[in-house]
Chains A and B, each alone.
Chain A
Amino acid sequence: MTGRVLHIELRRSIASWLGAIFLVLTLGLCYGLTGPWGKGSGAWLAQWASLAQWQRYFLDFTWPAVFALGAWQGSRQRRSTMDELLSATPRPAWQRAAVLAGAAAITLTLASLVFFAIGAVQVARSTGYFTLGWLPTLLVGILAVAAGVVAGMGIGHLLPYLVTPPLVGVLGFGLMIAAQWTPSSPVPVRVQLFSPVLPGAATAFVTVAGSVHIGQALLFAGLAASGFLVSVVRGVRARIASVLPLALGVALALAVLPGRPATAYPADPGAVALVCDDHGPRVCVTRAHQNLLATLAGPGRQALARLAVLPGAPTTVIEIPDSGSQYVSLLPRPGDTVQVDLNDHETRYWGFSRLDPATLEWSMLLGAGTEPCATVLPPGAGPDADLLARVIAASWLFDGGARPVLADDPALASRGPGFAQEADAAEVALLSLPRPEQVRRVAAVRQAGLTCQGDPLALLTRGSAFR
């Protein structure tokens, strides 16, 4: 019998439309627009965890609509006085409400799963790193959406007016925008985490803390319970009492949710772990990028061979997780290692087009095999003296100055015509020196890159650390 009622509700109510609208909106957003979800090593189709986190990010734009449409369903029930008709039947009110809420929850769950499955097909092709870390992110997201529609129905039932859906939709969206995660936001992190929205995976190496999942699950379970109770109980007192589960959920969530962004989105130790190739000089990549080990090994060994002309040359290539350019100054820099950040915003800006062997090898030689010491200015920001020294060292190592400095990196040519000319002039000056002095100066650039002290351009053009 319940099955038949469910079938009727699926056809009669907004439930099927809700699932379809939700799915179409989410797919349209991520495939139709370009946004932060397509960038960096944490792009939504790059890793399993990224896919689940970006799916939560899209709730920013779909959750208020689900909430408002739930409110429409709840208010229509009351306005059309269908409840009165149905209350004449022997079936208890909670069963009817449960079947209706269940119908909406089923279609929304299906829509979420279909979206995840569509993304998963592409993620499975692009990464070899698989854990079940994405599962709680996805499940809490589904719970949040289901709680949204049930809470909407509750509010619609409580305030059965035409204006209720737009009112709650616009207010809900306004609140979610206001609570959005930004480092400078005045809203405390705990309160920001009340939103079903997650900020999206910045890199492939972050995950969502278990305390966030638990706190949000408690909160949304409370919201769903309150929404459901409001639509079934009668009488003012009972209605006031039905807010209790939500209050309990909020209190528990406040106790459980972490208070700092770094605790809420910690590093994923599994993704950071190294996978190494020891057939020859050692080349390692992070486990998140283990598919790229073969791609990186050839150019990495080539780069090591070219660096061997320097005294105290490095013997290992290791991929370091990209932790954002503001942390480069904190990076430990061992002298026997060439560190590679595949998303360092300099030349290796993550993208499959930039993984061809020649580009990779050239970019590993930048700064004679070192990472930049300061935030690299974005392309178009004008010349950057440190970058100039780094590319000249790379060109000297790569082809001994046989070709123009930027021949192998058209992306850097966007720093203006003066940049390429200055680089070529400085390289010609370097090549005019005796060979041992050239080696000494390039080695000094590597030392400056390892210690982050001294001016690499002055070291290269004058042989001393001062200009």
Chain B
Amino acid sequence: MLYARSRRLGVAMAAMAGSTVLLGVLGHAQAVPVGSTLSVTVASTGLMGVNAVLDRTASIRWPPRRAAHLIGMAVLAGLAGLPAAVPPGVVARDALGQAGLAGAGVTLFGGSFGWCLPFAALVVTYLPGLARIPVATWLAQPAGSTPALVAALAFGVIGLLTYSAIGRGRV
């Protein structure tokens, strides 16, 4: 319970609910990148504890717990799209990749800037020069696009490994 509170679970859940509403109202596949980024970036602020020094004194094995947190975040962000009329495969893929990027972002830049990488991925999606490169614009690819799935899986695995092994950055 304390862990949930210290990791801002409430805010994260609210953001996912907000993203569900957003997707439901817009009901358009083009809203998926924005919706998944919204839930993941907001939840990413919970990837760091309130006090890192205090956390380190606890006799818990942190890596499995951090991995579980990140996986849970990806699953919830993926589930957030279910009630809306958008392809669930796309939502799940985007949630996975963005959660991985958030984990990598928190490792690199610390909890308050962890959103930078998923946010950058969202912006890159709309860059005109990259429209023909599916790996770069993986967030907006249609369901069943292999390059987009590979990109999302790669980001997911990289994020999971770095975040669970290293944890939040010291920035």
Contact = CB atoms under 8 A, between A and B. Distances in A.
Interface of A: 29, 33-36, 60-61, 64-65, 68, 72, 76, 161-163, 165-167, 169-171, 173-174, 177
B37 interface: yes
Contacts of B34: 170, 173-174, 177
A35 B132 CA distance: 11
5 contacts: A33-B128, A64-B123, A163-B45, A170-B34, A171-B38
Contact of A61 (B11, B44, B123): B123
A432 to B, nearest CB: 47
B42 interface: yes
B119 A170 contact: yes
Q: When A and B form their complex, which 7 residue pairs have the shortest distance between CB atoms, in order from nearest?
A: A33-B129, A166-B41, A166-B115, A162-B45, A35-B128, A35-B129, A174-B34
B75 interface: no
Contacts, number: 66
Given A33-B127, A35-B127, A163 B11 contact: yes
B112 A72 contact: yes
Contacts of A76: 112
Contacts of B42: 163, 166-167
Interface in B122-142: 122-123, 126-130
B8 interface: yes
Given A165-B115, A170-B37, A173-B122, 20 more contacts: A33-B127, A33-B128, A33-B129, A33-B130, A35-B127, A35-B129, A61-B123, A65-B119, A68-B115, A72-B113, A76-B112, A161-B11, A162-B8, A162-B112, A163-B11, A166-B42, A166-B45, A167-B38, A170-B34, A174-B38
A173 B119 CA distance: 9
Contacts of B126: 60-61, 177
B111 interface: yes
Contact of B115 (A29, A34, A36, A169): A169
Given A33-B127, A33-B129, A34-B129, A169 B45 contact: no
Interface string B84-95: 000000000000
Contacts of B38: 166-167, 170-171, 174
Given A33-B127, A61-B127, A177-B126, A166 B111 contact: no
Interface in B38-59: 38, 41-42, 44-45
A88 B168 CA distance: 34
A interface majority secondary structure: helix
A169 B120 CA distance: 11
Contacts of B80: none
B interface majority secondary structure: helix
B70 interface: no
A65 B123 CA distance: 9
B104 interface: no
Interface residues of B, number: 23
B15 interface: yes
A167 B115 CA distance: 9
Contacts of B37: 170
Contacts of B8: 162-163
Interface in B96-119: 111-113, 115, 119
A163 B15 contact: yes
Nearest to A32: B129
Given A162-B8, A162-B112, A171-B38, A36 B128 contact: yes
A68 B118 CA distance: 13
A177 B119 CA distance: 14
A232 to B, nearest CB: 23
Nearest to B102: A166
The residue among A34, A65, A177 with the most chain B CB atoms within 10 A of its own CB is A177
Contacts of B115: 68, 165-166, 169-170
A39 to B, nearest CB: 10
The residue among A68, A76, A170 with the most chain B CB atoms within 10 A of its own CB is A170
A29 B44 contact: no
A29 B112 contact: no
B15 A173 contact: no
A170 B45 CA distance: 14
Contacts of B111: 162
A170 B37 CA distance: 7
A80 to B, nearest CB: 11
A322 to B, nearest CB: 20
Nearest to A29: B127
Contacts of A34: 129
A141 B115 CA distance: 26
Contacts of B112: 72, 76, 162, 165
A412 B168 CA distance: 57
A72 B109 CA distance: 14
Contacts of A163: 8, 11, 15, 42, 45
Contacts of A166: 38, 41-42, 44-45, 115, 119
Contacts of B45: 161-163, 166
A129 B37 CA distance: 44
The residue among A33, A72, A162, A173 with the most chain B CB atoms within 10 A of its own CB is A162
B10 to A, nearest CB: 11
A165 B112 CA distance: 9
Contact of A169 (B44, B119, B129): B119
B157 to A, nearest CB: 23
Nearest to B18: A167
Nearest to A68: B119
A458 to B, nearest CB: 39
Interface in B1-39: 8, 11, 15, 31, 34, 37-38
Contacts of B15: 163, 167
